[in-house]
Structure 1
């Protein structure tokens, strides 16, 4: 992350909708501090359904059109969006996708 300077901002949003986040927000913050996490971790959110946060509704809606059309449903934790400088989601990656491709994708939007 440091190599990108102010060109990159990583935002993490814990979610319990999938039963994979058994710890409290306080425990998440403690773990992040102990491990010198260098990205922003926000309060817990819902990503699906009527209770979904406005941000996640926007991300899913804005990226559900075009040739890379995906479902508006997030099915598990660690779904990633790349959002360009204009605030438009340009890529959506699932948890099973190789994280090494992120570097090339991210730098292509600088």
Structure 2
């Protein structure tokens, strides 16, 4: 009897925590977003140094000049803490990344 009562209270506690988390999820306006959708959503800024290589690997995945692209992308990511979404263009999402220029005035970041 004691074991079944403690199991019952554990289940009630677990259920109440789940309901609280779900209500917070709904309150924050994220009801329609699944976990997969959240992963695909581009994070505009706040990359850590550990996230830059992965973001740049994807950014430079379709270029034929991978080595220089990765070098400059990682340099830009470490400075700007941002990498534009996709493999090309969309630089307006990251102003620092977009506005950093070379000495000759060309774009520094791929």
TM-score by length of 2: 0.28
Higher strand proportion (structure 1 or 2): 1
Higher Rg of the two aligned structures:
2
Higher helix proportion (structure 1 or 2): 2
